[in-house]
Amino acid sequence: MGYEDKFVHADGVVEHLNSVVPAITDPLLQRKYVGFVSIVAVTVYELAIKEIFIDFSHKKHKILGNFTESFFDRINGRIKMEVVQKDYIPKFGVRYTEKFKRNIKSSKVVYLRDHGRDFCTSYNNIITWRNQFAHEGIINSHTTYDDAVRTYEDGKQVIHCLAASMAR
């Protein structure tokens, strides 16, 4: 199973909510769905990140794979760009850190041109919204449901860049 399979869960939830949320007339209730989308998005991001690192490690060496499984067993939402780039990738070597930076930089230019949004900002934003909603009970008053879905889709690009970077 590849890392992209992890997105299936969130994609299914979003697809269902897309048929429900437009009929909701209460603006507060609609904003609560931003929290739900952010929770499911960050959950699948975390699962995909774990899958990428574990799969990479097992391909390198069985012992490294076992260690990596244990290490990433408890990352618990610690997946912001800075953490991935400065804490996780460097453990595998500077080669992969540099590759990730290059992939992000080149992908960002194309994505910004094609979509008009910075996917790195989107990725970090949805993690922030998730943390505020899940840990502080804060309902985001500035983000619409559609914004949350678009941000989730944008953020997937970070995961794709990570996967491309952690390939031999």
Question: What Cα–Cα distance (Å) separates residue 24 from each residue in 28, 30, 33?
Answer: 10, 7, 10
Q: Is the pLDDT of residue 6 over 80?
A: yes
- Residue range 40-50: average pLDDT? 96
CB-based contact 159:45 (threshold 8 Å): yes
Place 108 in a pLDDT band, splitting at 50, 70 and 90: very high
Q: How far, in Å, CA of 77 to CA of 79, rounded?
A: 5
Q: How far, in Å, CA of 154 to CA of 7, rounded?
A: 13
- Residue range 118-135: average pLDDT? 96
Q: Is the pLDDT of residue 1 over 70?
A: no
Mean pLDDT across the chain? 95
Q: Is the pLDDT of residue 168 over 80?
A: no
Quote the tokens at residue 76. 């618990």
Q: How far, in Å, CA of 149 to CA of 112, rounded?
A: 17
Q: Is the pLDDT of residue 55 over 80?
A: yes
Domain assignment of residue 52, given as a range: 3-165
Is the full-model pTM beyond 0.75?
yes
- Residue range 125-153: average pLDDT? 94
The total number of structural domains in the chain stands at 1
